[in-house]
């Protein structure tokens, strides 16, 4: 199939983008196009106008400052994946990006584009939720920061207003001494996850957990933090028994019904195993030990 008819514009500044969005409620933004263009070809998306960001200056920067990795709206997945400064600041980024589609897609697709697409099984939305990040939006009334927990509202639905441009993603630097890990299961490498889980944990001198963030995607209508799992490990040494008990609590977060990919029961079983692996590896990294 081919897309329905649409107008096209290529603004030169952020102000022109906001003006174009305000003038046409049916307009959509084109960045990498790796999700939007296929959706248009299938007529799942029918914008009245495409606003191409390719000529807008200042949107391709990756800056690490004040404990935050700031990723501009036109930064490609592969650019962030290979950026050594970002990797040193938060190595979880590269670990998760390995699972994003395939290298040719990562060469074209943008990080912020993936966040705005907001597929509930995608890795980048989970990264933002797991790290406690945010996005910066600009519209006719100025700029605002939107926390990850407030940005993702439902599958492929965000709180971005129709006349706003997401300027950048803000991914926090990994806390000092924190361990991290991410695991997902998909039918084929590069497919969206049937379930995925990530963990960030910090240990004290006795190897007890002082802080924990555990999240998952592919199991609900948005990426979610697994608060029951986090509470189960706080103050505990991550023995096999503690990890097993905590992982079993993850299943309650599965709210997707049975579908063509998996039953809800299978997702619960799968998620428990992924959480178990993520917690174990994050604990090893936090303790300075090897990760298999």
pLDDT in tens, 231-289: 999 999 999 999 999 999 999 999 999 999 999 999 999 999 999 999 999 999 999 87
Which letter, b or e, does each residue of 138-176 get, where b requires 16 or more Cβ atoms within 10 Å of its Cβ? bbeeeeeebebeebbeeebebebeebbbbbbbbbbbbbe
User: Nearest CA to 182 among 169, 173, 195?
Assistant: 195
Class of domain 179-286: alpha beta
Residues in contact with 19: Cβ distance below 8 Å, sequence separation at least 6, in sequence order: 11
Between CA 54 and CA 71 the distance in angstroms is 15
Spatial distance between the Cα atoms of 246 and 243, rounded to a whole number of angstroms: 5
Instruction: Determine which helix (DSSP H) or strand (DSSP E) holds 166, and give its type and residue range.
Output: strand 165-172
Q: What is the pLDDT of residue 165?
A: 98
Q: Which two tokens stand for residue 29?
A: 């933004």
Minimal CA–CA distance to 284: which of 203, 175, 184, 196?
203
CB atoms within 10 A of CB 244: 14
Residue position matching structure tokens 């959706």:
39
Cα dihedral sign, 235-133-116-111: negative
CATH topology agreement for domains 62-172 and 179-286: no
Contact 61, 82 (CB under 8 A): no
* Over residues 84-94, mean pLDDT: 98
DSSP per position, 79-148: HHHH-HHHHHH-THHHHHHTTSS-HHHHHH-BHHHHHHHT-TT-HHHHHHHHHT-EEEEEETTEEEEEEH
Tell me what pLDDT residue 68 has: 98
Residue 165 CA, chain-centre distance (Å), reads: 18
Residue 163, pLDDT > 80, answer yes
- Report d(CA 14, CA 2) in Å as an integer: 29
| Alpha-helical regions (H) of the chain | 14-23, 36-41, 77-82, 84-89, 92-97, 103-108, 111-117, 123-131, 148-151, 227-233, 240-248, 264-286
As beta bridge partners, residue 196 has 184, 217
**Mean pLDDT (the chain, rounded):** 96
| Predicted local confidence at residue 92, as pLDDT | 98
Domain boundaries defined on the chain: 7-52, 62-172, 179-286
- Give the pLDDT confidence score for residue 290 in this predicted structure: 61
Residue 47: C-alpha distances to residues 28, 32, 41, 56, 223 (Å): 6, 16, 11, 20, 26
What's the CATH architecture for 62-172? 2-Layer Sandwich (3.30)
Q: What would the pLDDT profile of 95-108 be if each residue is shown by its tens digit?
A: 999 999 999 999 99
What does the CA dihedral 31, 72, 101, 37 come to, rounded to 10 degrees?
Answer: -10
pLDDT digits (tens, 9 = 90+) for 182-222: 999 999 988 999 999 999 999 999 999 999 999 999 999 99
CATH of region 7-52: 3.30.43.10
């Amino acid at each position: 199939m081919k897309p329905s008819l649409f107008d096209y514009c290529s603004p030169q500044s952020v102000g022109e983008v906001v003006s174009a969005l305000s003038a046409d409620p049916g307009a959509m933004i084109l960045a990498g196009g790796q999700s939007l263009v296929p959706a248009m070809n299938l007529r799942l998306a029918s914008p009245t106008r495409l606003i191409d960001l390719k000529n807008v200056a200042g949107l391709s920067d990756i800056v690490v400052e004040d404990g935050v990795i700031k990723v501009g709206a036109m930064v490609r997945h592969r650019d962030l994946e290979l950026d050594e400064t970002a990797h040193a600041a938060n190595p979880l980024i590269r670990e998760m990006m390995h699972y994003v589609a395939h290298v040719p897609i990562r060469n074209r697709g943008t990080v912020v584009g993936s966040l705005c697409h907001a597929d509930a099984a995608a890795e980048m939305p989970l990264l933002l939720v797991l790290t406690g990040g945010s996005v910066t939006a600009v519209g006719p009334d100025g700029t605002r920061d939107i926390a990850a927990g407030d940005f993702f509202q439902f599958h492929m639905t965000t709180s971005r207003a129709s006349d706003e441009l997401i300027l950048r993603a803000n991914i926090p630097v990994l806390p000092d001494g924190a361990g991290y890990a991410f695991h997902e299961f998909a039918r084929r490498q590069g497919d969206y996850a049937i379930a995925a889980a990530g963990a960030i944990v910090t240990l004290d001198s006795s190897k007890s957990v002082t802080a924990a963030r555990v999240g998952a995607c592919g199991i609900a209508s948005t990426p979610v933090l697994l608060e029951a799992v986090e509470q189960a490990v706080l103050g505990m040494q991550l023995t096999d028994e503690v990890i097993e008990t905590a992982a079993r609590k993850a299943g309650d977060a599965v709210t997707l019904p049975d579908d063509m990919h998996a039953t809800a029961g299978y997702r619960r079983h799968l998620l428990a195993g992924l959480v178990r692996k993520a917690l174990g590896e994050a604990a090893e990294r936090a303790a300075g030990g090897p990760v298999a």
